[in-house]
Amino acid sequence: MEANQRIARINAHLHPPNFQVEESSSLRRANCRAKGAGPGFKVAILGAAGGIGQPLSMLMKMNPLVSVLHLYDVVNTPGVTADIGHMDTGAVVRGFLGQQQLEEALTGMDLVIIPAGVPRKPGMTRDDLFKINAGIVRTLCEGIVKSCPRAIVNLISNPVNSTVPIAAEVFKKAGTYDPRHLLGVTMLDVVRANTFVAEVLGIDPRQVDVPVVGGHAGVTILPLLSQVKPPSTFTPEETEYLTTRIQNGGTEVVEAKAGAGSATLSMAYAAVKFADACLRGLSGDDGVIECAFVSSQVTELPFFATKVRLGRNGAEEVFPLGPLNEYERAGLEKAKKELAGSIQKGVSFIRN
Ligand SMILES: NC(=O)C1=CN([C@@H]2O[C@H](COP(=O)(O)OP(=O)(O)OC[C@H]3O[C@@H](n4cnc5c(N)ncnc54)[C@H](O)[C@@H]3O)[C@@H](O)[C@H]2O)C=CC1
Ligand SMILES: O=C([O-])CC(=O)C(=O)O
């Protein structure tokens, strides 16, 4: 290629006159030429310009399993894409702005991560977000139906206990539903549980594994402290303190941020930990096991979070709860009661 042609391509990349479909196509060509998409997975982040979306996009750009990273939002993706695109890691980054570019953003994706939607302010429950976020999740899932119906979906937008059933209903309606492909992200509950339990035990959190089951709101978040690894015992006071702190972890951050949003940095960390596990599963790695809120037959509820084995087809195996102590059995009953209502609310949003 002539030198002046190469410079023209780079300029087109650096100074797109606007961020419309035609421009993003040329940007895509420039990107592919400039960097070359290596082997790996194609990942889209929907809500990429937000508090979670930005650090999540940065961390996914650093993931060696990712070859192409599509950043979609209804605002600010040109800036975030330009910024992250300068990182000298392998993934090719492309930005997409606004609903008219959703289809293009999703085409060919292997994994779609969704942190789009409004966060809580002090005094709100996650369910208070339903009104706005339910519609956002529906629209984005309709895009997935059209452009990448076989992709694995990691759903972060709250209230997860209702948005996962919403996504399932959208996919069912379109005839594309594969329950193994839809995963509500509860990893932050596990990350918090590992941290708080490690503090109590006085050990490194990286050595700790706490299964957290149920759902992702208040009493539906049920840490199984009797199954902690390494095997540990807790006094009744420690059990009560840890369970309450893990269940209120999100609220602790919302209050500390005092109106400036909810957990973003720890959530981006947790989302990447979970997405990486999904990609390792897709690659064919053995023994990839994490907690997630999925279609389940572990209880009488249609969705429930437990440990799942991630493989080439997503959540290939959903593990049972294992032995629970009396405290956990009581917690399970409370969790199921609240979860049943939240799941029904999500289902009704699409069916009615
Ligand atoms: N599952 C979990 O453990 C957690 C979930 N969350 C949830 O994640 C969501 C996002 O939180 P933040 O990033 O802090 O909020 P944020 O407000 O900082 O960012 C949200 C982003 O979504 C974008 N957005 C809004 N409508 C959209 C649409 N139709 N399509 C694409 N993008 C759209 C916004 O433009 C914004 O950039 C909230 O619902 C929050 O409650 C937050 C922390 C933990
Ligand atoms: O608490 C919130 O609203 C955000 C969230 O889900 C969490 O931090 O666990």
Mean pLDDT of the residues in the chain: 92
Distance 26 CA to ligand 1 centre (A): 29
Q: Which residues contact 285 (CB under 8 A, 6 or more apart)?
A: none
Average pLDDT of the segment spanning 330-344: 98
CATH code assigned to 1-15+34-184: 3.40.50.720
pLDDT given for residue 27 in this prediction: 36
Q: Which CATH architecture describes the domain 186-351?
A: Alpha-Beta Complex (3.90)
Please give the model's pTM, rounded to 2 decimal places: 0.93
- What are the start and end residues of each CATH 3.40.50.720 domain in the chain? 1-15+34-184
Q: How far apart are CA 281 and CA 288, in angstroms?
A: 6
Q: Which residues contact 170 (CB under 8 A, 6 or more apart)?
A: 138, 141, 142, 145, 350
pLDDT given for residue 8 in this prediction: 55
* DSSP assignments along 266-301, one per residue: HHHHHHHHHHHHHHHHHHT-S--EEEEEEE-SSSSS
Strands 289-295 and 303-311: antiparallel
> pLDDT tens digits for 270-321?
999 999 999 999 999 999 999 999 999 999 999 999 999 999 999 999 999 9
Distance 227 CA to ligand 1 centre (A): 32
Q: Catalytic annotation on 216?
A: yes
Enumerate residues lining ligand 1, CB below 6 A.
46-47, 49-53, 73-75, 115-120, 129, 133, 136, 139-140, 156-158, 160, 185, 188, 216, 261-264, 267
- What are the start and end residues of each CATH 3.90.110.10 domain in the chain? 186-351
Which amino acid, one-letter code, is at 195?
T
pLDDT confidence tier of residue 351, bands split at 50, 70 and 90: very high
> pLDDT tens digits for 120-142?
999 999 999 999 999 999 999 99
Closest atom of ligand 2 relative to the 126 alpha carbon: 3
pLDDT given for residue 39 in this prediction: 83
